[in-house]
């Protein structure tokens, strides 16, 4: 009988008329982190995320003025502001440009009509050039989470209220010049704190370069003569490559010199 009573599940005594309290759901730490990582701004724009650095302006981009309204190319080489999009929608094809680095923190833009965007002497933004010259170079300015685009005339780009035309005539970056440069390409990974100069996507790249290369080579060599073959004179070359963010490419090139590698012939 004692065993039977012990097998009964013990419960808290609930008096008549008293409602049992609902159990609070415990959220796992991982669930909160996943919610925090969601970029709501990116989701509202159909997966187009907001660029925050000049080096991110490459590939397909769109330029947003206001909320969900983008710069749109016209077939006459001029530009206007397109119709508003619903939340969750990205830019239309005529609102997508191709960006290229132009050096000195600048970039060039090509419209869907295959012409580069430039600025005329009166500050009109046009897309009629087949090549990139001084007037086809643009400089992004980022401050306090906002962006503005500076033309070769040292004037900021904005949308003229009278006819919705894209111009570059503002001497200062006031609210009319504030825009969002958006990209649809894969977002670059956050910088790693593993070591200065180490590639951001691999924390194990930190530390002694000789040991790093030895461990790297061991993964691929056949060991026919029971010896590990490593290319000579690697310390200085690998150190310079790591400082440039090209360590993996340098390791691969040094592997290719060795005949014992299974993959580099």
Give how far Cα 119 sits from Cα of 59, 80, 85, 153, 163, Å.
21, 14, 27, 8, 17
Lowest mean pLDDT of 31-45, 170-184, 221-235, name the range. Answer: 221-235
Q: Is the pLDDT of residue 23 over 90?
A: no
Is pLDDT larger for residue 139 or for residue 260? 139
Percent of the chain's residues with pLDDT above 70: 64
Characterize 159-189 residue by residue with b for buried, 16 or more Cβ atoms within 10 angstroms of its Cβ, and e for exposed.
Answer: beeeeebbbbbbeebeebbbbbbbbbeeeee
pLDDT tens profile 91-129: 999 999 999 999 889 999 999 999 999 999 999 999 999
Backbone phi, psi, residue 77, to 5°: 90, 5
Q: Which pTM does this prediction carry?
A: 0.60
Lowest mean pLDDT of 19-23, 127-131, 135-139, 238-242, name the range. Answer: 19-23
Q: How confident is the model at residue 82 (pLDDT cuts 50, 70, 90)?
A: very high
Give how far Cα 205 sits from Cα of 124, 210, 236, 258, Å.
48, 11, 15, 21
Which burial class, exposed, middle or buried, applies to 154 when counting CB atoms under 10 A from its CB (0-12, 13-18, 19+)?
exposed
Which burial class, exposed, middle or buried, applies to 129 when counting CB atoms under 10 A from its CB (0-12, 13-18, 19+)?
middle
- Write down all domains in the chain, each with its CATH number in brackets: 43-183 (2.80.10.50), 203-256 (no CATH)
Contacts of 165 (CB under 8 A, 6+ apart): 78, 79, 80, 124, 159
Mean pLDDT of the chain: 78
The arithmetic mean of pLDDT across residues 16-45, rounded, is 62
Percent of the chain's residues with pLDDT above 90: 49
Please give the Cα distance from 130 to 202 (Å, whole number): 40
pLDDT tens profile 145-161: 889 999 999 999 999 98
Please give the Cα distance from 182 to 158 (Å, whole number): 16
pLDDT tens profile 160-218: 988 999 999 999 999 999 999 999 988 766 554 444 433 333 434 555 667 666 666 66
3-state secondary structure the chain: CHHHHHHCCCCCCCCCCCCCCCCCCCCCHHHHHHHHHCCHHHHHCCCCEECCCHHHCCEEEEEECCCCCEEEECCCCCEEECCCCCCCCCCCHHHCEEEEEEECCEEEEECCCCCEEEECCCCEEEEEECCCCHHHCEEEEEECCEEEEECCCCCEEEECCCCCEEEEEECCCCHHHCEEEEECCCCCCCCCCCCCCCCCCCHHHCCCHHHHHHHHHHCCECCCCCCCCCCCCCHHHHHHHHHCCCHHHHHHHHHHCCCCECCCC
Which pLDDT score is estimated for 193? 40
């Amino acid at each position: 009988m004692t065993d039977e009573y012990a097998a009964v599940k013990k419960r808290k005594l609930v008096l008549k008329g008293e409602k049992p309290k609902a159990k609070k759901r415990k959220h796992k730490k991982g669930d909160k982190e996943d919610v925090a990582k969601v970029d709501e701004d990116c989701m509202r724009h159909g997966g187009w995320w907001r660029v925050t650095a000049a080096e991110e302006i490459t590939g397909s981009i769109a330029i947003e003025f206001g909320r969900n309204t983008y710069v749109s190319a016209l077939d006459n080489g001029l530009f206007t502001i397109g119709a508003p999009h619903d939340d969750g929608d990205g830019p239309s094809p005529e609102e997508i440009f191709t960006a290229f680095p132009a050096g000195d923190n600048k970039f060039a833009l090509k419209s869907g009509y295959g012409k580069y965007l430039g600025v005329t002497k009166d500050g009109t933004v046009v897309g009629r050039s087949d090549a990139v010259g001084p007037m086809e170079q643009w400089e992004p300015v980022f401050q306090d989470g906002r962006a503005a685009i500076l033309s070769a005339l040292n004037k900021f780009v904005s949308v003229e209220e009278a006819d919705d035309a894209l111009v570059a005539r503002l001497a200062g970056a006031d609210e009319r010049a504030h825009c969002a440069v958006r990209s649809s390409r894969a977002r670059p990974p956050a910088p790693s704190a593993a070591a200065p100069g180490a590639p951001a996507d691999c924390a194990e790249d930190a530390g002694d370069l000789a040991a790093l290369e030895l461990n790297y080579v061991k993964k691929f060599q056949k060991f026919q003569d029971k010896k590990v073959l490593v290319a000579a004179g690697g310390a200085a070359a690998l150190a310079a490559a790591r400082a440039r963010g090209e360590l993996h490419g340098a390791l691969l090139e040094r592997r290719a010199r060795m005949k014992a590698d299974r993959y580099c012939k």
